[in-house]
Structure 1
Amino acid sequence: MSLDTPPVAPEPAADNAGTAPAKRRFTFPSAFTVLIAVTVAVWALTFVVPAGRYDTKDGSPVPGTYRPVEVTTGFRERLGDLFLSPVNGLYGVTDTQSGLTAPGATGTFAGAAGVFLFILAVGAFITVTMRTGALTAGVARLAQRLRHHRAVLLVVLMAVFSLGGTTYGMAEETLGFYGLMIPLMLGLGYDRMVAATVVMVGAGVGTLASTVNPFATGVASDSAGIGTGDGILLRLTMWACLTALAAAYVLRYARRITADPTRSLTPLTEDDHRLQAESGGQADLTSRQRIVLGLFAATFLFMIFAVVPWADLHITFLPTLGWYFPELAALFIVAAILVGLLGGLREKGTVEAVTAGAGDFIGAAMIVMLARGVTVIMNNARVTDTILDALHEAVSGTSSSAFAVLMFGVNLPLAFFVPSSSGHAALAMPILAPLADFAGVSRALVVTAYQSASGWVNLITPTSAVVMGGLALAKVRYDQYLRFMAPLMGMLLVAVAGFLAFDAAVS
């Protein structure tokens, strides 16, 4: 999951001589501020953009049926839509007769309450697991066992962090692992850049190629009107290939600096030499931690099983459960309670961890609520189909492969301005996903294009607290990290575009 608020630089103080303090450095606004600004801007544009409508069939717009319509709501009603947009984004209902969304309407549920609760449930589950110490101990145990096979250890650790990224959007959780990775990698003869990128690039590439990540794939699929399991074969292939590419890139650098330490982008300091000498402690897993790790893995494996449409993949011996956000939220709530009790937190500790975890993730849930509110404003003003028609005209005539790459490109600047993957998904998918129907490709491909763009940008964006906070913990300068990442970012860009174009061409 992407953390929604970037780190704020401390205010410089005036010196004792009474000189004026240095100018405050500009910090990019949080995703909340960006989305509030977008909400107001979109509301204002609804008075300029003409209203229009497509005919629909099975929930999808029918090409060639767009027509202008007259808006019956006045300024007072429009102002009410702006005021109620967060509420509508959470539990608004679309009236079956008028097509307008309001909290007390009767008709089709349009809010993101299911996604909201699911995010809180995942947050509770992850926080409870972290408090048992099982995840940290598990990584430490793995590192101990592979200590004398450092190349294998590096690849395995990157794969583990990538697995966390692709399944649950591991992001701010990585900040707790730098204290473990830095002395470990230094002790193996590597530098701080290797320690930082094993964690950051590993989890980041996994998030880029999310398979069932609820904060990216889940929210985007919900906004696109498809199941989380749709398109999972492409995403699994991308995850395996891109993780291997990133691991090979980091391993190549690690071997280069081992052979010639002068080529390190982060030369060893006196403290680094001290950490090298002190590394080598033992790491043991308790029986409780083993049980917790097993339950943690089993929960995510079952989630994957529950959302994948096995029948559509022609796998008949596995039942298609068709679980969605209500069932998945219940799964993670129950799993959080079990992990806490079996992990030794007892009743009080489990309750505190569940509430703390839900509190930690409330920001991501509210981002989805705000973004869904923007969609409601556009729908009530009847401008969504107008924007969709304009985009359709812009991409009409392109091949399916070119369309897929174009969707990837369109989402890159959006990912910079809205670094929250869930907020980006809820904001962009209602408009971009229907374009797939016009282009003759699956909506799942647009979801994959969005999440790839979001993950690619969030590997390096300075608006991400995960990136800037991780580099601060690793004591790696941002310019050093960019220099390291530049070739890999180019390779990932080409690889993602190739995967999207190929899938569009053959599907």
Structure 2
Amino acid sequence: MEATQKKRRFTMPSSFTVLFLIIIVIAILTWLIPAGEYQVDDAGNLIAGTYDQIASQPQGIWDVIMSPIHGMLGTAETSGAVEISLFILMVGGFLGIVNETGALDSGVAATVKRYKGKEKMLIPILMILFALGGSTYGMAEETMAFYPLIVPVMIGVGFDAVVGVAIVLLGSQIGCLASTVNPFATGVASQIAGISPGEGILWRLVFLVVTLSIGIFFVYRYASKIEEDPTKSLLYHQKNENKPMKMTDNVAELTKKQLHVLVLFGLTFFMMILSLIPWEEFGVMLFVDFNNWLTSIPILGEIIGTATMPLGEWYFQEITMLFLVMSIVVGVVFRMGEARFISAFLKGCGELLSVALIVAVARGIQVVMNSGSITATILHYGETGLGGLSAGMFAILTYIFYIPMSFLIPSTSGLAGATMGIMAPLGEFNGVQSHIVITAYQAANGLVNLISPTSAVVMGAMALSGVNIATWWRYTAKIIVVIFIASLAILWLAALLS
């Protein structure tokens, strides 16, 4: 045995471990915190000011180890995660089919080729494309394939690796920060809060436009500075130390079939957005009228099915069906064989299996809290302590609260599952609608994921591009501050006007 051994470096435990530890802590708290309950109205909403203590219901070891199972299947007090978990798996299967076609990689490569000689124009175009991916389906790890393509292009035309990283990383993660219908953020949080993912989408679009504009402005300005004076590059002193990454040459030309896949890919998320916006609340009856007309047609209506729902009234079951059907449509259009289709679909599901399971584990926290009847007590503490706050101030404090929580629980879905059951009703008590609480959670989590050293997406980008994490922090410092201030302003305004 060696006389001296190297000290083991601390590594952040996985989200599963963190969530299990939180479940244990919550179970212990059921022995210490008084149990209580609120009265509810006809709609099932808690009525502020009606809290009463009840007999203590401490949770034991059996309750702890059963909590993830109950979190998936549900209990009398807590809805199960099976609906959102199945939805996540279907999204994974759909992305697996699309990735199998190579359409996304070839689409970006075709865009880069088209703007050869006008590479600075690629900055806003590509950042918008990556942001749309992040905002609609939580594009994150998928971006790893694009660094070997975009970083060498940026270096080759006189910029540096930071510009290439910023296009991909800032673009995609600002999209996640301002998620509109991202199933892993907006979807999970909305399901827990008991609202449609379409609620609050207008404010999330405002978030997307404002924060993405900030990102594009900073990246474009930095690229322009380097273009005028290469010594302005944060990597200029490393010029002779690091060799530029070679551009990947294994991305095929965009084929006609891949172009059709990209159209179907965009159409799928466009349909999802249309289906989740509550059109009737805005006085738009087009989809309801069309659905009534279609189902009233003799024979055809019966063939289609009279139980169909108009766009605007869809929820998780319907959009789960959408991704399953569109997976098949993409496979047929691409002329993918049955065996290849099943393999790609299952592979895609497998890649998101951990996300689907983590939702159930996170829901286990709420199961233990509800079974121990301490949820109402914690809400009562919040109602008492935060009751004097204005709606705008509560929205801002919620945003600030979620910043350290995002470091503690890096998983977007896990964070929503662990906290939204408390934060959404607490917001309602303070006159803040649940969709604003969700927007605050997404914005804070997204901000952290732009720079977090525990993020596989961030560290993977650094490793692929040869950019040091300290250099990345130096580059993004001003961007983070500006996005932080803009986020506070938007949340305050949303709480004031909603």
- Distance in 2, matches of 1:116 and 1:282, equals 33
What is the deviation of 1:400? 1.2
Aligned pair count?
Answer: 474
What is the deviation of 1:24? 2.5
What is the deviation of 1:166? 0.5
- Distance in 1, matches of 2:251 and 2:66, equals 56
What is the deviation of 1:441? 2.3
Tell me, yes or no, if the aligned pair for 2:154 and 2:164 is still in contact at 8 Å.
Answer: yes
What is the deviation of 1:462? 1.3
Partner of 1:106: none
Name the amino acid aligned to 1:232.
I
Q: Superposed, which structure 2 residues align to 1:241-280 within 5 Å?
A: 241-267=210-236, 269=239
Tell me, yes or no, if the aligned pair for 1:144 and 1:283 is still in contact at 8 Å.
Answer: no
Q: Superposed, which structure 2 residues align to 1:377-388 within 5 Å?
A: 377-388=368-379
Instruction: Specify whether residues 282 and 450 from structure 1 end up closer, same or farther in structure 2 by C-alpha distance, changes over 3 A only.
Output: closer
Partner of 1:183: 152
- Distance in 2, matches of 1:87 and 1:369, equals 7
Name the amino acid aligned to 1:153.
L
Instruction: Specify whether residues 177 and 21 from structure 1 end up closer, same or farther in structure 2 by C-alpha distance, changes over 3 A only.
Output: farther
SS of 2:458's partner is helix
Q: Does 1:127 align with 2:111?
A: no
What is the deviation of 1:261? 1.2
Tell me, yes or no, if the aligned pair for 2:75 and 2:367 is still in contact at 8 Å.
Answer: no
TM normalised by structure 2 equals 0.91
Partner of 1:484: 475
Partner of 1:410: 401
Partner of 1:390: 381
- Distance in 2, matches of 1:505 and 1:237, equals 15
Name the amino acid aligned to 2:254.
L
SS of 1:210's partner is coil
Partner of 1:107: none
Partner of 2:62: 80
Q: Does 1:63 align with 2:63?
A: no
Instruction: Specify whether residues 128 and 283 from structure 1 end up closer, same or farther in structure 2 by C-alpha distance, changes over 3 A only.
Output: closer
Tell me, yes or no, if the aligned pair for 1:88 and 1:111 is still in contact at 8 Å.
Answer: yes
Range 312-321 or range 402-411, more displaced: 312-321
- Distance in 2, matches of 1:240 and 1:486, equals 20
Tell me, yes or no, if the aligned pair for 2:242 and 2:466 is still in contact at 8 Å.
Answer: no
Instruction: Specify whether residues 87 and 259 from structure 1 end up closer, same or farther in structure 2 by C-alpha distance, changes over 3 A only.
Output: same
Deviations 1:21-69 (A, max 9, x none): 5323211111111101111111111110110111111222111100101
Instruction: Specify whether residues 443 and 190 from structure 1 end up closer, same or farther in structure 2 by C-alpha distance, changes over 3 A only.
Output: same
Deviations 1:296-340 (A, max 9, x none): 111111011111111112333344441111111121122223323
Instruction: Specify whether residues 395 and 274 from structure 1 end up closer, same or farther in structure 2 by C-alpha distance, changes over 3 A only.
Output: closer
Instruction: Structure 1 unaligned segments of length 5 or more: list them.
Output: 1-13, 102-109
CA RMSD of aligned residues (A): 2.0
Partner of 2:272: 303
Q: Does 1:193 align with 2:162?
A: yes
Q: Superposed, which structure 2 residues align to 1:272-351 within 5 Å?
A: 284-319=253-288, 320-351=311-342
Deviations 1:334-364 (A, max 9, x none): 2223323433442111111111111110111
Name the amino acid aligned to 1:42.
I
- Distance in 2, matches of 1:411 and 1:348, equals 44
- Distance in 2, matches of 1:497 and 1:454, equals 14
SS of 2:19's partner is helix
Tell me, yes or no, if the aligned pair for 2:130 and 2:175 is still in contact at 8 Å.
Answer: yes
TM normalised by structure 1 equals 0.89
Name the amino acid aligned to 2:472.
Y
- Distance in 2, matches of 1:426 and 1:281, equals 40
- Distance in 1, matches of 2:108 and 2:463, equals 21
Partner of 2:190: 221
